[in-house]
Structures are given as C-alpha cells and as structure tokens.
Structure 1
C-alpha cells in the first residue's frame, strides 16, 4: 500500500497506455489522491476487481484512445459493475459523437481535453470526489428514510392520536348525565363532514374547545387549525389578518403577508366572536365562503383556498339578524350546523371532575404539587354559579394553588365572591345572585335573619380559617358572643 493511502485520501484509478502520461498524472494528483495506474482496460479491470472492496476507488480517469478498446467502452463496463464510481474521459479529440455516446452509454461525468493544465485537472478531480461523497450521502439518507419510514409513520400516527386525545372529544371532562354529552355526540356526528358550524355559548364556556374537537375529529386533523378573535380588531386590521396583503398595499406594508385563510388552506379557520363584525366586513366574508376565493389587499389576483370555517359567538345572532345588525345570508352560510355549549352552572355534576383536572394542570403550570381540595372547598366550588364558566374556574384554581401552603386546598383560599356563595349540596340549583337567594328564604323575618346571620358567620369562619379572635374582631363581637352564636347555629363542630 502506498504512503498516500495511509492518509486515507480518496482513491483514483488512472488508465492510460502512455507511461509518461501516467507519471505526469501521478505527480500532479498524489498530494490529494491515492493514485493507482493501469496501462490498458484489462489491467484497469483487474485493479478494480482487486482494490474496489479494499481501497474504495471513487474516480476513474481514462484515456479515450487506447489499443484494443476505447475509454467509453471501458467506462461503460465500469458503470455496469460499479455505478457509484465517477467516470472521466481524457481525450485529445473533440468528437461530438464520442461525447454524446459517452454521456448516454457510459454516464461520463466530465470530458477533459489534452493537453491538460495541472490546476484545472486537480480542481476537476476534487469536484469529482465531492460528487462521489454526495452520492454516497444521498444513498445513506435514502436507505435511512426507507428504514425509518414505518417508524416515522407510527410516530406520526401516535402523535396524531395524542393530539386527538388532547383536543378531540377525549379532552372533555364530563360526568354521566352531563348536558355536554349531547353536544359531544353532535360533534362526533358532524365532524367528518365539511360543513360550516356555528358554536354559541357564554364567554369561557368552551366554544374554542368545541371547535378544536370538530377539527381534530375530522379528516382535516393533520392540517392547520387557525384561530382569530374577530372582536379584538377593527375591520381594516381584521381584513388584512384574514386575507393578507401585498407589499405597498398601504402605508407600512413593507412586505407581502399571507393571510389566515391561506395559512389554514386544507384545515380549519375558527372565527371567534363573529357577532362583533360590522355589516361591511360581513359582505367580504360572505364572498369567501360562497366562492372559496379572495384577493389579498393590493392584489389583482384571486387566491383559491379549501378551508372549513367554524364561527363562535356569545351573542343572540338570530335576534341580530332580525334587527339587521347581522346579515341573514351570512348567518345561514355559517350556521349550517348550530351547537350550543351549556354554561358551567348547568353542569354542576361535572364540577368535581373538572376542578380536579384543572388542579392537575395548574400544579404542572406552577411547578407546585398539591394533593386536592378539602370537602369544604369543594362544596363552595360546587355552590358558586361561575358566570365566567370554565375560564373563571381555571383562574380561581390557579390562584388557590399559588397561595396554598398545605397539601390540601382549603376554602379560605377561595376568592370572596366564591366563598360568600350560600353553600348547599353539589346538586343544589341556587338562584343567580345572593339577593335572590335571600328573598327566597322561608319563614318570618326572624327566621330569615337567622339564616342570613348563619351564612355570614360561616363565610367569615371559613375565610379566616376558624380563627375565633380574628372573626370576632371583624364581625364586631366578643369572643364569647361569637362562640355562643356558633353553638346556636351548629357551626362549632365544623371546626
């Protein structure tokens, strides 16, 4: 083995019947290549058969005119047996027919003319070595991809299943008999079909979760789910966000912007608070829904998209249609299917399950482990009407976890508005506010005042963690007087 081969230089086979030409090529190339030489095609073939598995010859540089055979004929055989080798012809003639034959039949990578220049020859062969390296890398990558394809497919399928479980119907926490069950059943039935859906419900009730469930239960699940709050932007900004614009369309448009409709192509676009849009914008939105195309601001060309639109609102759009505030044709275009999400106060049976699930996510978000709720805290949570729905419940539990100093979250950590709610059983359907509750008390004035006093006492004791001294000071009572009232109302044992 030559000294150069110990340096692991790329190997090149030079086939030339002229000895002086061989030596000149060797001297030029030996600093950058492990050079092997052959005087004719037969010797070149013997070297290839002997050395290819050991040395790994990357390039064959062959003279075109040799006794017995031509360079193209020899390199055609090389191509058939070792297709990865980069093949180069060295010729003193510029015969067009030879060049065409060499490219088509022997896969010649390059033709070099005699007399050759050392710098040009060396640069060409260095590029040839890089071509060989890139070919090998491409083959390895192709093999890796073929090998990994089943694994990647399983990984993608698994990821899609995880996404579906996180955002699909499996993400809904609900008890048996919950009103949300009927909504989930309807989602399951309509999700596979490309129909526009209108989701109605109070703020924070989970309208976006319903929209995500529809998307991830549909055939569009692998595509984008894009959200836009229509009530947060004026018409001009909303139009540029949804439809995009071209550079120079208006002052400040320094580059093209792809709109959300185009970003959601093949997927789903969720338009929240659709009832807050103006009639002028509703006309533009209606055209997109009818024609499936739009023009970015400043463009003369229409863009075609395939987007499923899901809209949501907390308004009574049917009333808005009657008063002319919302276009009737747009309403019926959006509300092919209508879904109403019940408020949390109508899902009291879901509250314990939902509260515990939100507690888990809150502990993860804050990095603070908590074991659960006290019975008293859960009773207060179940009694409150949650006008802000799930969003309010989530914020309340986050607050409790942040303030907690014990493994269990006590009722004293609740916000005053939650704590002051009259506490009953989990299935107790309380009126909408405390004044209505007070007006619904039974008995004469004294009995009603006693019930109200008991409620005030219990709220204060829970909030102050049953500290009688602090409660007595706050309520303007002596400690003895407070204790007497607690005994009278049967609250002393609650401590």
Structure 2
C-alpha cells in the first residue's frame, strides 16, 4: 500500500496538474501545486517536501533548473520527472542533474504509484543512513580512549564542545596518559577532520632544527639546505598541528610561536616572504607551565595564549576503576596480534594490576599486558606473568611487604625516586597500603582508619589526595 507523502507537483498545464493532484490526494498524499519555476521555489522555501514531481517544460522555464535547485538547496527531497518528450538522452541528463526517476506521458497509474513508493523508501533509507552516520560521528575519534572515570567523561564533553573552535588547546598530564590520543580526537571530531593531523615532539629537536621543522626553510638557510622546504605549519594548513612537550621550547622559539599563534603568519628560516595559514594548534606538556612562568622558563604572554582551554588528563593511579577495561582492550589486541588464545587475568593478578602506582600510566599498562600475553604458556594469566616491578620480586630478592593489619598486606615496587620530594616518593606505597586496607574492610572507612591507626578525617584527606575517593572505585576493583 502506498504510504502518505508530501508532494510538490509542478506543471504549467493547470488542468492536468489539478487533475493529478486530486488523484494523489485520494491516495492520501498531501499535495501542493505550482505552475512556474518561481512558484515552485517559493513553495520549497515555505515547507519541506518528500517528493517533487515536475515536468521538464514549464512555459518559458526549464525543469532542469528546478532539479538542480532542489538537489542543491533541499537534498533531502527526491525529484521525479514527468515529460511527454523523453528521449534516452533526456533521461540520462535528468538523472545526472539529480532526478530520482523519469516517467513519460501519458502516465500509467500503477507506474506512478510504484515510482512514488520507491521515492519514499529511498528517502527513508537515506534518513536512516544519516542517523547512523551521526551516531558513528558521535564516537569518532574516541574509539581507543577507554574510560568510565567521571573526570575522563567530562573530558569527552569538553572535546565535543571545543572541537570546532579555533582557539588553542593545552593538554596537560603525565607521560603515557594519552595526550596525543585526545589531541587526535579533537581533530577527528572537528570540521578539520579532512585536513592533515601533524604531530611534532618539540623536545626531540634542537632549536634550529625545530624552527625549520615548524616554519620551513629556504635554500641556503643553513648548510645542507639545498632547496625550499615547507614547515609543519604549512603542511597542517586547514588541519591540526599538535605540538608535544611544548615546555621544552627555548625563549627564542617561544617568541616565534607567540607570533604565529596570534597572527597565524610567519617567515620560513632564512626567508623574508610572509606566509599565512589556517592551522588549528593543540599543545601538550607533562610539566606545570604556571610554575615555569613563575621561574621565568616560560613566557607569561605565551602561556596565556596557549592556555585558552586546558584539558587535564588524570594519571592512571587516580582512576583505578579503568584498569579492568583497559586491560581487556589491550589483552584482546595483543592476543589477536600474536594469535594466542588468552582468556584473561585471574583475580590475584588483577588485584596486583590495580594496586600498582603506574608511573608510566596507560602506556606502561599496555606494555605490561602485551608482555604477559607473549610470555605466558597458559590461557589464563596469573601474577607470575607480571614483571617484577609490579609484584615486588626482583630476581631472588623478595622485597618486604608493608604491614597493614593482621589480615592485610600490600606489596609495592621500589622505583627511582631521585629528584622527588619525600612526600612524592612515599605517595605510591601510601596509596597501595590504603587501597589494600579499604578492600580488606569492604570499603568501610571507619574500620580502615582504625586498622591504619589514623583518624577518619586524615583518611578522607589522603583518599582525596591519592585519587581513592571516587565512589565507583569500590565497584570495579575486584574487592
């Protein structure tokens, strides 16, 4: 049965148009009649139509103009052409112009009904495809950023909000937290996704080479510069440039960066011609730039320029609830890559993974999981498949466990503490002890405080400082 559709019927033969409109209305369609090209365009502006049925000859007007206009301005509306002067070439031209189908006069009722049904069905499929495309786009760029942590979910919302803004974005966080992935997600979810995404590690290049890398150079700018070479700012024109380790930039380079971020103009190394670009810049650092500004190591004006939007990625030790999710993802990737049948980590091994401080964050976790998959001889991974720094076992030496109470112990790896304050150095063991005690007492804070011989207020403060105050943590910690 023909479904109801909204139809714009365009024909300069008034009596024929009214007769066809009456028949279409009897078929439960909603029909508006237009006799000229201008009338048709006016009707299209006033309301949305599922289908335009038009003759190719509209008095002094050309029906092809209406097909082109509808295709360009109202792509969701199908066009069905009806003409008494059709040739094979006419049909081809009509389809190329954007018509869905072409029928010849005199019309056969069943043929027209079938054409209308096909048009409605095509429009429905196109609408469903558009909805699916939007759903895919909603997640586009976030596929590998796995988290249930409320702070990470807020970051996802920020990425959505600023994706299309031209303002600079500063991403801060420890090494291995995924700053590059967040930067790429911003690019992928923006209107610049069709442009290039170019990443530059500022700390990996000396100042002169970094200037050439970013701004390009002309022939003869330095020894070995035999020709002109465009820089990353030019290569990322219309796209996104990600500058990692921005805190390592020298004062001279900071001046050059400030100018290009303000004016989007620069001169290549050794050249005098000014280039203008439309490049989105995202910067990242694992250092506290505000402290660098205070010490004079980082320009204050550049700091204010790059810190328009600041995304702070929390370290893995502060979102322990994400570890099972990340482990499962990395385990499947490693198992598929090595063609191994791995079921997963057992309970004891997962407890060790969630108790560790992860100084290398997500990147270190990925390496640990891949190592366990490659070296294990069993389908279920155990504590023995984890590296010594996680279990506290170094060769034949077993490091003493930290005593929590008569029923709870926690192990913590010894790690390099050079350059750390005493408080920072003790943070890892302290977090391990408190987390283990909370688990052993089923997250009863009063009992935990009593076992640790501290008051509850002190426990609450320590939990907040160490990232243990997330209420969802107890439900995803295998306690």
The TM tier, using the shorter chain, reads 0.5 to 0.7
What is the rounded CA distance, in whole Å, between the counterparts of 2:436 and 2:272 in structure 1? 69
What is the rounded CA distance, in whole Å, between the counterparts of 2:411 and 2:289 in structure 1? 28
SS in 2 for 1:245: coil
One of 369, 387, 395 as aligned partner of 2:367: 395
Give the superposition deviation at 1:171. Answer: 3.1
Question: Aligned pair 1:186/2:181, yes or no?
Answer: no
Q: Tell me which residue corresponds to 1:224.
A: 196
TM-score (norm 2): 0.55
What is the rounded CA distance, in whole Å, between the counterparts of 1:167 and 1:432 in structure 2? 37
CA contact (8 A) 2:183 2:282 kept: yes
Give the superposition deviation at 1:205. Answer: 0.8
- Long gaps (5+) in structure 2: 1-94, 99-125, 394-400, 405-409, 413-425, 438-450, 452-479
CA contact (8 A) 2:345 2:381 kept: yes
Structure 1 residues 224 and 166, CA gap change in structure 2 (3 angstroms): farther
Give the superposition deviation at 1:287. Answer: 1.0
Question: Aligned pair 1:174/2:147, yes or no?
Answer: yes
Q: Tell me which residue corresponds to 1:307.
A: 279
Q: Tell me which residue corresponds to 1:199.
A: 171
One of 423, 428, 431 as aligned partner of 1:433: 428
Q: Tell me which residue corresponds to 1:323.
A: 295
CA contact (8 A) 1:178 1:349 kept: no
**For residues 441-480 of structure 1, what are the structure 2 equivalents within 5 Å?**
none
Give the superposition deviation at 1:363. Answer: 2.2
Question: Aligned pair 1:347/2:319, yes or no?
Answer: yes
Q: Tell me which residue corresponds to 1:380.
A: 352
Structure 1 residues 448-483: Cα deviation after superposition (integer angstroms, max 9, x where no partner): xxx9xxxxxxxxxxxxxxxxxxxxxxxxxxxxxxxx
Give the superposition deviation at 1:299. Answer: 2.0
Structure 1 residues 300-340: Cα deviation after superposition (integer angstroms, max 9, x where no partner): 21111101111000111001111111001111111111110
What is the rounded CA distance, in whole Å, between the counterparts of 2:364 and 2:137 in structure 1? 25
What is the rounded CA distance, in whole Å, between the counterparts of 2:248 and 2:134 in structure 1? 35
Structure 1 residues 164 and 363, CA gap change in structure 2 (3 angstroms): farther
Relative to total residues, which structure has the larger helix share, 1 or 2? 1
Give the superposition deviation at 1:440. Answer: 12
**For residues 203-218 of structure 1, what are the structure 2 equivalents within 5 Å?**
203-218=175-190
Q: Tell me which residue corresponds to 2:249.
A: 277
SS in 1 for 2:253: helix
Structure 1 residues 280 and 163, CA gap change in structure 2 (3 angstroms): farther
What is the rounded CA distance, in whole Å, between the counterparts of 1:194 and 1:170 in structure 2? 24
Structure 1 residues 266 and 158, CA gap change in structure 2 (3 angstroms): farther
Task: Number of aligned residue pairs: give it.
Answer: 294
Structure 1 residues 278 and 211, CA gap change in structure 2 (3 angstroms): same
CA contact (8 A) 2:169 2:282 kept: yes
Q: Tell me which residue corresponds to 1:90.
A: none
Structure 1 residues 212 and 380, CA gap change in structure 2 (3 angstroms): same
What is the rounded CA distance, in whole Å, between the counterparts of 2:143 and 2:362 in structure 1? 17
What is the rounded CA distance, in whole Å, between the counterparts of 1:320 and 1:259 in structure 2? 27
Q: Tell me which residue corresponds to 2:238.
A: 266
CA contact (8 A) 1:167 1:209 kept: no
Structure 1 residues 367 and 165, CA gap change in structure 2 (3 angstroms): farther
Q: Tell me which residue corresponds to 1:420.
A: 392
Give the structure with higher Rg (CA).
1
SS in 2 for 1:222: coil
What is the rounded CA distance, in whole Å, between the counterparts of 2:337 and 2:257 in structure 1? 38
What is the rounded CA distance, in whole Å, between the counterparts of 2:186 and 2:152 in structure 1? 14
Give the superposition deviation at 1:432. Answer: 2.8
Give the superposition deviation at 1:380. Answer: 0.9
Q: Tell me which residue corresponds to 2:329.
A: 357
CA contact (8 A) 1:261 1:305 kept: yes
What is the rounded CA distance, in whole Å, between the counterparts of 1:364 and 1:158 in structure 2? 32
Structure 1 residues 440 and 208, CA gap change in structure 2 (3 angstroms): closer
Structure 1 residues 83-120: Cα deviation after superposition (integer angstroms, max 9, x where no partner): xxxxxxxxxxxxxxxxxxxxxxxxxxxxxxxxxxxxxx
SS in 2 for 1:227: strand
What is the rounded CA distance, in whole Å, between the counterparts of 2:133 and 2:157 in structure 1? 21
Structure 1 residues 440 and 404, CA gap change in structure 2 (3 angstroms): closer
Structure 1 residues 412 and 159, CA gap change in structure 2 (3 angstroms): farther
TM-score (norm 1): 0.53
- Long gaps (5+) in structure 1: 1-142, 147-152, 443-450, 452-495
SS in 2 for 1:257: coil
Give the superposition deviation at 1:166. Answer: 7.9
What is the rounded CA distance, in whole Å, between the counterparts of 2:135 and 2:339 in structure 1? 23
